[in-house]
Amino acid sequence: MMKTLDFEVLRGLTDALLAAKKPAEVASRDQINKGKSVNANKPESGAMEKTFQIDPIQVDLLLGKAYSDWGHVSDAVSVYDQLISSYPDDFRGYLAKGIILKENGNIGDAERMFIQARFFAPFKAKALVDKYSR
């Protein structure tokens, strides 16, 4: 059985691991980026295995957030740069980079990221981009 793992669950797990000061357990995107599924539980004999597909963009966004929360801004920006390079038509990398640049006083570069994010954002996400770009 294949399901999509809800982003809120993934974010909750990330926040819990950060709160528990277990950052090494957060950064497990390599397995996901290689297209492997994450087992939800180990199947018992005769039980059906449940696996979840995780959006690698969401994983990178969470990794960038984790770096930012730890005070490693340059590492977070690097993750977002890699995300933008790998998925240039996805607005989320531009938005995340714009937010962190704005938070750290780099307003000019942040504005450029917000312009890119708004350009690539689907209609229903443009308001989200506008919210953070103000």
* pLDDT band per the 50, 70, 90 thresholds, residue 32: very low
Mean pLDDT over 50-71 rounds to 83
What is the per-residue pLDDT across 107-130, written as a single tens digit (0 to 9) for each?
999 999 999 999 999 999 999 999
Closest C-alpha to 114, from 103, 102, 129, 128: 129
Closest C-alpha to 98, from 56, 66, 64: 64
What are residue 51's phi and psi, to 5 degrees? -130, 155
Mean pLDDT over 17-26 rounds to 60
